Chains A and B, each alone.
Chain A
Amino acid sequence: MPNHDQDPLIKFHKVNKTYDGKTFVVCDLCLDIYKGEFLALLGPSGSGKSTTLGMLAGFEHPSSGSITLAGKSLQDIPTHKRKFGMVFQNYSLFPHMTVMENIIFPLRMQGISRKDACRLGQSALEMVDLGDPGMGTRKPDQLSGGQQQRIALARALVFEPLVILFDEPLGALDKRLREQMQLELRQIHRRLGVTMVFVTHDQSEALTMADRVAVFNEGKIQQIASPMQLYDAPDTAFVASFVGENNKLGAKVIHSQGNNCNVELHDGSRGEGLSPHHLSPEVSVVLVIRPERVVVSPGEGYRNRYRGRVNEVIELGDQTRLRLDVAGNEEFLVKIPRTHGAPEYRVGQDLFVGWRSQDCRVLRA
Chain B
Amino acid sequence: MTTPMLMLTRPASVLPKTALALVGGLVLLFLILPIIVIIPLSFNSAPYFTYPMPGFSLRWYAEIFGGSSTSTMWQRGILNSFIVGISSTVLATVLGTLAALGLSQSTWRYRNVVFAVLVSPLVVPAIVSGLGLFYVFAKLKLVGTFWSLILAHAALGAPFVVITVSATLKGFNQTLLRAAAVHGASPSRAFYEVTLPLISPGVISGAIFAFVWSWDEIVVTLFLATPPQHTVPIRMWSGVRESFNPTITAVATLLIVMAIILMAIVGHLNRRSARFKNPSP
Contact = CB atoms under 8 A, between A and B. Distances in A.
Given A80-B184, A106-B184, A94 B280 contact: no
A144 B190 CA distance: 26
B191 interface: no
Nearest to A165: B182
B175 A88 contact: yes
A88 B179 contact: yes
A85 B194 CA distance: 18
A64 to B, nearest CB: 23
Nearest to A57: B182
A91 B173 CA distance: 11
Given A92-B176, A94-B194, A141 B278 contact: yes
Contacts of A92: 173, 175-176, 178-179
Contacts of A159: 183-184
B19 to A, nearest CB: 42
A156 B180 CA distance: 11
Contacts of B182: 57-58, 79-80, 82, 84-86, 165
A169 interface: no
Contact of B275 (A85, A86, A106, A141): A141
Contacts of A79: 178, 181-182
Q: Helix, strand, loop or mixed for chain B's interface?
A: helix
Classify chain B's interface size. 20 to 34
A298 interface: no
Contact of A90 (B173, B189, B194): B173
A83 B181 CA distance: 10
B55 interface: no
Nearest to A110: B184
Interface residues of A, number: 34
Contact of B181 (A80, A85, A96, A144): A80
A365 B112 CA distance: 50
A86 B194 CA distance: 17
B281 interface: yes
Contacts of A59: 178, 181
A1 to B, nearest CB: 27
A158 to B, nearest CB: 9
Nearest to B190: A80
Nearest to B281: A145
A120 to B, nearest CB: 14
Interface of A: 57-59, 78-86, 88, 90-96, 105-106, 109-110, 140-141, 143-145, 148, 155-156, 159, 165
23 contacts: A57-B178, A59-B178, A78-B181, A78-B186, A80-B180, A80-B181, A80-B184, A80-B186, A80-B187, A80-B190, A88-B178, A90-B175, A93-B179, A94-B180, A94-B194, A105-B183, A109-B183, A109-B189, A141-B275, A145-B281, A156-B183, A159-B184, A165-B182
Interface of B: 173, 175-176, 178-187, 189-190, 193-194, 197-198, 275-276, 278-281
